[in-house]
């Protein structure tokens, strides 16, 4: 029997967390849900996620960035998606590449809230496939 792909989903908004969990579960993934940075750090000790989706602003304004950094430090090959409403509210864009090198932000993708289910599923699939090609 094939092991399901584990996805860590972190958001302090319970409604969004529930929505993401439902979309990903329906797509056949095993979801490890966490309601914030502290709970996510506990989950990281118990289970190695195959991919992580984190909100930017939770307990602190940079909780998502800090958590993304921790995921990459513990599990360097694990793709991270940062999910945020910051871009839509402020117009600020997060570059993933600067001068051919990744900037200080340790993420593989950014998606804006609200995220359409098909966009989320497609991005998760794309990153997991890219990760398996590198392995």
pLDDT digits (tens), the chain, 135 positions: 567 899 999 999 999 999 999 999 999 999 999 998 889 999 998 889 999 999 887 776 777 788 999 999 999 999 999 988 755 544 555 554 444 444 556 789 989 888 999 999 999 999 999 987 554
- pTM for the model stands at 0.85
pLDDT at 103: 56
Tell the residue number behind the tokens 């800090």, with chain if given: 66
- Sketch out the chain's domains with CATH numbers: 6-134 (3.40.50.2300)
pLDDT at 56: 83
CA 92 to each of CA 67, 84, 86, 110, 112: distance values in angstroms, whole numbers, following the listed order: 20, 11, 7, 12, 11
- With the C-alpha atoms ordered 63, 23, 87, 132, is the resulting torsion angle positive or negative? positive
């Amino acid at each position: 029997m094939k092991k399901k792909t584990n996805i860590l989903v972190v958001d302090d908004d319970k409604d969004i967390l529930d929505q993401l969990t439902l979309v990903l579960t329906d797509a056949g993934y095993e979801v490890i849900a966490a309601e914030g940075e502290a709970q996510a750090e506990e989950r990281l000790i118990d289970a190695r996620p195959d991919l992580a989706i984190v909100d930017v602003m939770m307990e602190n304004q940079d909780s998502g960035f800090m958590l993304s950094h921790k995921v990459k430090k513990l599990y360097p090959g694990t793709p991270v998606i940062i999910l945020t409403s910051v871009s839509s509210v402020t117009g600020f864009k997060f570059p993933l590449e600067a001068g051919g090198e990744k900037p200080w932000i340790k993420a593989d993708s950014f998606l804006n809230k609200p995220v359409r289910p098909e966009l989320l599923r497609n991005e998760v699939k794309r990153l997991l496939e890219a990760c398996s090609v590198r392995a």
